[in-house]
Structure 1
Amino acid sequence: MTIGYIYIKIACMNNFIKNKRQTVLLGVFVFGLLVITASYKNATPPGFKNLKVLPTTISRDSLHDLMEGYSAALGVKCGYCHAKSSSDPKRLDFASDDVIQKTYARHMITMTQNINKNEFNFEKSNRPDTINIVTCGTCHRGNKDPEAFVAPEKD
């Protein structure tokens, strides 16, 4: 063996160790970023504030569809239950509880959920929140103030 051969072997070994160290450090760095990103994503709520009756895990699309259903069932627009934003009156502040109709709506949502869960859960479903026999539209039928039933006169 010559000195040149040994020198080349040592140089190659040093590069290998240096590259291996860099590769390991890069791997640890990437793994750390993945862990931080995953934990941040899981810890971040969908962004809805002040959901008291509806599940906080509800998706944006599901919440939007549900609210459109409530609007149609009562024949109203979003501003019937949601207050105007104090910073921009052209927008709504969905988290605000300043409009009393929102409180009434929460009571009515709870009422229909309880009726469906307790009276129409024939299969004893473990997801009674998906039972929708009784809805806002059952009574309201497109009117914000449901019409009172008047029994027909007897003949």
Structure 2
Amino acid sequence: MRLNKKITVIASLFLAVTVLASMTLQQQPQGPPQPPPSNLKVLPKKLTRQQVSKIMDEWASSLGVRCNYCHARDEAANRTDYASDAKPEKEMARHMYKMMVTINKKFFKAGDKDSLGMVKLTSVNCYTCHNGKSKPELTVPKRPAFGGPGARPQGAPPAGGAPAGTPPMGGAPAGAPRQG
């Protein structure tokens, strides 16, 4: 009985230390708020760095690319220069964003935006066309083969009429004896 009491006390102390340590880690300040990013031309200027970073992560994921796909590298500073417009892909992303906003305004409920003023995911977004590829692929459906979905049943006439030698609608050729 005395052993159980000791184990209970030790386990309780361990639990208390763990809870206090986790609370301390959660309450540590994140530092001063970062100034908004520079060079925003199509995104709302009121966005924070964290919000822009989240949006960029969504765009990169939708295109299956990384930051350096649109953003140039500053070799002198040995880092990515997010404000630079040196890469044409960055300007293309801006055009694509404007196109997406236009489509959503025209064909989807006006004002259907999230708390950041961004178009909600229920409308058209980058992934709608890109599907994780940097350049969307045009796919044209092929005519179904016999036996596939939408194919004619075996022996069915092609669209536009019956093949030569096919009996009239009654079944047997005219003048042929009826089978009962």
Q: TM-score range by the shorter chain?
A: 0.5 to 0.7
1:144 paired residue among 125, 134, 159 = 134
Match for residue 85 of structure 1?
A: 74
Alpha-carbon distance between aligned partners in 1 of 2:99 and 2:52, rounded to the nearest angstrom? 18
CA contact (8 A) 1:81 1:100 kept: yes
**1:151 deviation in Å?**
1.8
Match for residue 131 of structure 1?
A: 120
Q: Which moved more, 1:65-74 or 1:145-154?
A: 145-154
2:42 paired residue among 53, 57, 64 = 53
Query: Aligned Cα RMSD in Å?
Result: 2.0
CA contact (8 A) 2:37 2:48 kept: no
**Aligned runs of 1:22-101 on 2, under 5 Å?**
46-89=35-78, 91-101=79-89
**1:86 deviation in Å?**
4.1
CA contact (8 A) 2:36 2:49 kept: no
Q: Structure 1 pair 130/139, CA: closer, same or farther in 2 (3 Å)? A: closer
Alpha-carbon distance between aligned partners in 2 of 1:134 and 1:96, rounded to the nearest angstrom? 28
Question: Is the partner of 1:92 in helix, strand or coil?
Answer: strand
Alpha-carbon distance between aligned partners in 2 of 1:136 and 1:87, rounded to the nearest angstrom? 33
**Aligned runs of 1:9-20 on 2, under 5 Å?**
none
Q: Which moved more, 1:104-113 or 1:128-137?
A: 128-137
Match for residue 97 of structure 2?
A: 109
Report the TM-score, using the length of structure 2 for normalisation.
0.55
Deviations 1:56-98 (A, max 9, x none): 1112221111100011000000000000014223x11100000
Q: Which moved more, 1:126-135 or 1:61-70?
A: 126-135
**1:47 deviation in Å?**
3.5
Question: How many residues matched?
Answer: 108
Larger-gyration structure (1/2):
2
Higher RCO structure (Cα 8 Å, ≥6 apart): 1
Report the TM-score, using the length of structure 1 for normalisation.
0.63
Unpaired segments ≥5 residues, structure 2: 1-33, 145-150, 152-180
**1:126 deviation in Å?**
7.6
Q: Which amino acid aligns with 1:82?
A: H
**Higher relative helix content:** 1
